[in-house]
């Protein structure tokens, strides 16, 4: 209870102290405030070949993090028109395959998880059902084997901050 009262009082004090003493017009702001963003967590492979959630709405400055269950999963950026393929210009992100293999064994980088519905969308077009998550999954099902990007890029792999969280 005290913390709620204190924060409201502090906010009111800040508003009152921010009120200008005179009518001064400024052409530029005094300082820039950096937005911190929100972290969206996506589980890969929890409950089968799926991302949960499979539809993320994010703003500029937000972070989308994927948690991979111990299996052969990754995430790569593709276009709506060419699902299961990396962006043609090579600018998309690709998490790579981040799991241990036996000495002399290479990760198995082929597969049809995308074609089987393991597809997700960030900021889908809600105004046009021709570009919906449902439609994207339908198009993915019609493609051949997924194309694996040549290089891991566009993000960072970090240790699990909560190793006891079930992953």
Please, which residues have CB within 8 angstroms of residue 140's CB and are 6 or more apart in sequence? 83, 84, 114, 115, 117, 119
Assigned domain for 17 exists: no
| Residue-wise pLDDT tens digits, 103-122 | 766 655 667 889 999 999 99
Whole-number pLDDT of residue 147 = 86
Whole-number pLDDT of residue 100 = 60
Whole-number pLDDT of residue 112 = 87
Count of the separate structural domains present in the chain: 1
pTM of the model: 0.66
Assigned domain for 6 exists: no
Helices (DSSP H) in the chain: which residue ranges?
2-18, 133-141
Whole-number pLDDT of residue 7 = 25
| Residue-wise pLDDT tens digits, 81-96 | 899 998 888 888 888 8
Assigned domain for 143 exists: yes
Element housing 59 (H / E)? none
Neighbours of 120 (CB within 10 A): 21
Q: Which of left, alpha, beta for 157 (phi over 0: left; psi -120 to 50: alpha)? A: beta
Whole-number pLDDT of residue 67 = 86
Q: Find the domain containing 89 and state its range.
A: 41-98+109-157
- pLDDT means per 10 residues, the chain with 167 residues, are 26 34 52 73 90 95 86 85 89 77 63 90 91 93 86 76 64
């Amino acid at each position: 209870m005290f913390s709620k009262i204190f924060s409201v009082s502090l906010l009111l004090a800040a508003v009152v102290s921010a009120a200008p003493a005179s009518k001064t017009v400024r052409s530029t702001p005094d300082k820039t405030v950096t937005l911190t963003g929100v972290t969206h967590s996506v589980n890969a492979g929890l409950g089968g070949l799926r991302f949960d959630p499979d539809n993320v709405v994010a703003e500029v400055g937000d972070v989308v993090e994927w948690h991979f269950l111990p299996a052969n999963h990754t995430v790569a950026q593709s276009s709506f028109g060419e699902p299961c393929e990396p962006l043609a210009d090579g600018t998309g992100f690709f998490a790579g395959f981040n799991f241990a293999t036996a000495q002399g064994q290479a990760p198995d980088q082929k597969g049809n998880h995308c074609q089987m519905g393991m597809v997700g969308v960030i900021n889908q077009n809600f105004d046009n059902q021709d570009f919906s998550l449902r439609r994207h999954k339908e198009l993915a099902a019609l493609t051949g084997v997924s194309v694996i990007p040549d290089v891991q890029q566009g993000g960072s792999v970090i240790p699990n901050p909560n190793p006891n969280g079930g992953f």
